[in-house]
Structure 1
Amino acid sequence: MNIESELYDLEKSKGSVESSKAASSHGKKPKWRAHNQKPKDVFGQSPRDDIAAIPIRRADEATEEVPEDEYHTEELESLKGSEDEEEESKPPEFNEASTFGNVNLELYMLFPNLNVFKEAVRNYTIAQGRPIEFPKNDKVRCRVKCCGEECDWEILCSWAEAYGCYQVKYFNLNHKCSRKLILPQADRQWVAKKLVDILRLTPKMTAADAYAHMAGTYHIQVAEIKLYRALHIAKEFIEGSEKDQYTKLWDYCEELRRNNPGSTLQLGVERPDLSFPARFDKLYICFDATKRRAMRGYKPLIGLDGCFLKGYYGGQLLAAVTQDANHAFYVIAYAIVGQETKETWTFFLTRLFEDIGHPSVHGWEFISDMQKGLKGALHELCPKANHRFCVKHLEAIIWKHWPNTDLRSKVWDCAKSKIMADFERNFAQVKELNVAAWNYLSNLPITSWTRAAFPTESKNQSLLNNMCEQFNGSIVKFRGKPILTMLEDIRTYLMTKINESRNQVAKYQGPITPAAQTKLE
C-alpha cells in the first residue's frame, strides 16, 4: 500500500509540474478546461474498463485560445419544429397572377377551384399549341387529354380532402404530337379576354386587326366569325350592355337636368297597357348653353340631317346644326328615334321650335338633304320658312338619272349665280342639254337651290349642308356604341368643341372674326 501511495503522489506532482509549464509558456488558459475532461487513474485510463478510452485534447495541442474573461460554448442548431415540416411537405400552390406563357403546372399542385384549373390548363396548352379535350368534367374532378393522335399528355385534378382544395393527382407531360395553329380551347370568351386591354387602347380595332394581334401575340389562328363575336363581347365588357343601358335612360336624363339647369330632355316610350313594360321610343336633348347661344350669336340658318346608328338595336340620330360668325358649327339639339319619318321629324322640330322660337318670329331658314318626311314636316309646322336643298345631293340625283358632265357643270353654274340674269341664262342652257332634267329642276322652288333667289335675312350663301356632314363625320366613332355611352361621348365632344372655339376667338384681337378677316385678306 505504501509503494502504491508513493507512486500515486509522484505521478500527481509530475502532472502538476507539466501543467504549470504549459500555462507559463502560453500565458493564457487553454481552451479545454480541466473540469470538462474525464477523470483518469494513475495510468491514464478510464476508471471503467468496459468503456473505450476517449481521446482528450491536451492543452499543448490546442490551436485556439480563449481569454480569461470568456468561456467556450459549442454552437447548437435549433431543431426544426412541426410547422416547418408541414410547410416543406405541403405541395405547391398555383399562382393565379401568372401571365400567358408563364403558366406552370406540376404534379400535386393545389388549385382553389376547378375553374382556376381549367383556365390554367387552357392558357398552358394554348401557349404550347396543343389542342385538348375534357373527357371527364364535373363538380369534383376534371380530366384533360391532348387531342393529338396517340398522344399521352393527360392531367387529372380532383378534390383533396387533406388540403381542403383541388389537387393535381395525375400528370403525364409527354407530348407525341406537333404544334397546331387552330385550337378548339381558344373560344370566343377566351379571345375576348385577350382583346380587352388592346381594345381599350385602339377602340377602332377591326376583325383584321384582331386577327393579326392574336396571330402575332398568341401564335394562333382564329376564325373570322369568332373574332367578330369576341370583339362584340369585349366591347360590351368595356362599354356596358346595350340592353341594360336603356333601363338607365330615366336616371341619365334626371342627372343632366340636375347638372344643366334650363336644358330640355324628353324621353318617349311605348306602352300599350300598364301590364306591359315600357319600351324606348325616342329621346330629345337640347342643352341650355347651345339654346342661349343660338338665340344670341348664331346665323339664322339651321342645317337638319339624320344618320344611322350602328349599334345592335339601330335607330336614327336627328340633329339641328348651325354656324357662328367664325363659321364654326354648333349643335343646337339632337334626338334618337327609331326611323326617319314625317312623324319623327315633326316630334323633333316641334321640340326645337319650343326651345329656340318659331321661324315666323326669328326668321330661321333651313338647309337639308332630300330627307324622308322632313319636307312634309317643315311645310306643316312652318309653311312660310325658306327651305334650301343641299346642291351636292341635288347634283347626285341629276347624275343618277341623266349622267352628263356638261349638265352637271351647268347645274352648279345655276346654283352659284348671284343675280337672276345669270341664273336665267345658265338655266336656259340646262334646258338645251336635257329637257327632262330642266323639268325636274323647274318643279323645285327657285329659293331652295340658287343664290340669286336666297332671302337676305340669313346673310348666309351656303349651298351645301357641310355643317351637318361635319358633325356626322365627327361622331361616326360613337355611333356604334351603346346608347348611354354614345350620348355621353357626344356630350363630351360638343362641350370640348365649344370650349376650344371660345378660347381660339378669345386670343384673337380685331374688329371682325378671324374667318372674315381671312376672306378679306
Structure 2
Amino acid sequence: MEVMFTPFRLPTGNPRFMRLYCCLGLLKQGFRDGCRPIIGLDGCHLKGTYPGQLLTALGMDPNNGYRPIAWAVVEKEATKQWTWFLKLLSVDLDIQNQYHYTFISDQQKGLDRALAEVLPNYEHRYCVQHLYRNFKKKHPREALKERFWNIACYTTPEHFNEAMSNLETYDKEAHSWVKKAPHPRHWCKAFFPTHTKCDTLVNNLCESFNAHILKPEISL
C-alpha cells in the first residue's frame, strides 16, 4: 500500500490537511497484469462532512468491468491538482512508453493541460455521452441523437465524412456544433489508434465507481 499525505501550514505554523493520494499495491499489480491499457479519469465532489474533490483513476478488465488503480482527495479540481495526481500515478504505474496508454475522461477542469504536461504522448479520449449531453441542450431531437452517435461509432474516415455531410443536409446548426466540437480523434472510432484494442466511447468506468461509492461517502 502506498499513501502520500500533503500537509499545508497555516501562518501560525500549525499543519492543516491539504491532499491525500492512495495507490494499493494489489490493485496496481492487477492493472498491470490483467487490464487493458486504458485508464478512466474523473473528479467528483465529496458529499460528506468534509468538502473537497475526489480524483480517481480506474482500469478496465477483460470483461469491461472497472478496477480502481489510485485515488486522491484534493482541495479543488484544477490543473495544479491534476498534475500532482498524474505525476504520482505515472510513477506508480511506471509509465515509460506513453504511446501504450489511453486515457478517457469527461473533460474535467484542468485535466487536458495536466495530461499534456505530464504525459504528452498519450491518447486522450472524451466520453461521447458527455459530449452528447452538451449537444442535446441545443439539439434535443431524437433523430439528431441517432445521427450524432452514428458519427461517433463509424470506424472509417470515409463513413465519418459521409455521416457529417448527411448531418449538414439534415440540420446545418447541428452540423456546425459538431464541427466546433473537439477533434474527432478524441471521440470517433474512425480516428482511434489501434494499439489499445478497445473501442470504448464512454467513461462508464468512472460513472459506475462514483455511483458505487456514493452511499458510503455520504455517511462519512
Query: d(CA) in 2 for partners of 1:327 and 1:264?
Result: 26
Query: d(CA) in 2 for partners of 1:481 and 1:279?
Result: 23
Query: d(CA) in 2 for partners of 1:327 and 1:453?
Result: 21
Aligned to 2:59: 322
1:287 and 2:24 are equivalent in the alignment: yes
Residues 307 and 448 of structure 1: CA distance in aligned 2, closer, same or farther (over 3 Å): same
Deviations, residues 428-474 of structure 1 (Å, cap 9, x unaligned): 12223343443443341221111111111110011111111111111
Task: Report the 3-state secondary structure (helix = DSSP H, G, I; strand = E; otherwise coil) of the residue aligned with 1:400.
Answer: helix
Aligned to 2:197: 459
Task: Report the 3-state secondary structure (helix = DSSP H, G, I; strand = E; otherwise coil) of the residue aligned with 1:422.
Answer: helix
Question: CA offset at residue 387 of structure 1?
Answer: 0.7
Aligned to 2:43: 306
Residues 279 and 427 of structure 1: CA distance in aligned 2, closer, same or farther (over 3 Å): same
Query: d(CA) in 1 for partners of 2:60 and 2:76?
Result: 27
Aligned to 1:339: 76
Aligned to 2:169: 432
Aligned to 2:150: 413
Counterpart AA for 1:342? T
Question: CA offset at residue 419 of structure 1?
Answer: 1.8
Task: Report the 3-state secondary structure (helix = DSSP H, G, I; strand = E; otherwise coil) of the residue aligned with 1:480.
Answer: helix
* 1:218-233 mapped onto 2 (5 Å cutoff): none
Contact 1:302–1:364, Cα closer than 8 Å, also in 2: yes
* 1:104-503 mapped onto 2 (5 Å cutoff): 263-273=1-11, 275-358=12-95, 360-361=97-98, 363-443=100-180, 444-482=182-220
Counterpart AA for 2:8? E
Task: Report the 3-state secondary structure (helix = DSSP H, G, I; strand = E; otherwise coil) of the residue aligned with 1:372.
Answer: coil
Q: TM-score with structure 1 length normalisation?
A: 0.40
Residues 420 and 314 of structure 1: CA distance in aligned 2, closer, same or farther (over 3 Å): same
Task: Report the 3-state secondary structure (helix = DSSP H, G, I; strand = E; otherwise coil) of the residue aligned with 1:283.
Answer: strand
Query: d(CA) in 2 for partners of 1:471 and 1:313?
Result: 20
Question: CA offset at residue 418 of structure 1?
Answer: 1.6
Contact 2:99–2:121, Cα closer than 8 Å, also in 1: no
Query: d(CA) in 2 for partners of 1:438 and 1:385?
Result: 28
Query: d(CA) in 2 for partners of 1:413 and 1:359?
Result: 35
Query: d(CA) in 1 for partners of 2:48 and 2:77?
Result: 16
Question: Which structure 2 segments of 5+ residues have no match?
Answer: none
Question: CA offset at residue 416 of structure 1?
Answer: 0.9
Contact 1:359–1:385, Cα closer than 8 Å, also in 2: no
**Between structures 1 and 2, the one with greater strand share:** 2
Deviations, residues 141-179 of structure 1 (Å, cap 9, x unaligned): xxxxxxxxxxxxxxxxxxxxxxxxxxxxxxxxxxxxxxx
Query: d(CA) in 2 for partners of 1:324 and 1:408?
Result: 29
Question: CA offset at residue 280 of structure 1?
Answer: 0.8
Contact 1:269–1:279, Cα closer than 8 Å, also in 2: yes
Residues 359 and 428 of structure 1: CA distance in aligned 2, closer, same or farther (over 3 Å): farther
Query: d(CA) in 2 for partners of 1:272 and 1:473?
Result: 35
Query: d(CA) in 2 for partners of 1:395 and 1:342?
Result: 24
Contact 2:2–2:23, Cα closer than 8 Å, also in 1: yes
Deviations, residues 263-289 of structure 1 (Å, cap 9, x unaligned): 32111111144x331111110000111
Question: CA offset at residue 303 of structure 1?
Answer: 0.5
Contact 1:321–1:467, Cα closer than 8 Å, also in 2: yes
Q: TM-score with structure 2 length normalisation?
A: 0.92
Contact 1:359–1:365, Cα closer than 8 Å, also in 2: no
Residues 373 and 356 of structure 1: CA distance in aligned 2, closer, same or farther (over 3 Å): same
Residues 381 and 315 of structure 1: CA distance in aligned 2, closer, same or farther (over 3 Å): same
Task: Report the 3-state secondary structure (helix = DSSP H, G, I; strand = E; otherwise coil) of the residue aligned with 1:479.
Answer: helix
Query: d(CA) in 1 for partners of 2:210 and 2:104?
Result: 15
Counterpart AA for 1:465? N
Task: Report the 3-state secondary structure (helix = DSSP H, G, I; strand = E; otherwise coil) of the residue aligned with 2:35.
Answer: coil
Question: CA offset at residue 388 of structure 1?
Answer: 0.6
Runs (4+) of structure 1 exceeding 4 A deviation are none
Residues 349 and 281 of structure 1: CA distance in aligned 2, closer, same or farther (over 3 Å): same
Contact 1:315–1:339, Cα closer than 8 Å, also in 2: yes
Query: d(CA) in 1 for partners of 2:118 and 2:175?
Result: 30
Deviations, residues 347-389 of structure 1 (Å, cap 9, x unaligned): 1111100111236446110111121111121122222211111
Contact 2:99–2:123, Cα closer than 8 Å, also in 1: no
Highest CA radius of gyration, 1 or 2?
1
Query: d(CA) in 2 for partners of 1:431 and 1:377?
Result: 35
Task: Report the 3-state secondary structure (helix = DSSP H, G, I; strand = E; otherwise coil) of the residue aligned with 1:301.
Answer: strand
Q: RCO higher in 1 or 2 (8 Å CA, sep ≥ 6)?
A: 2
Alignment coverage as a number of residue pairs: 219
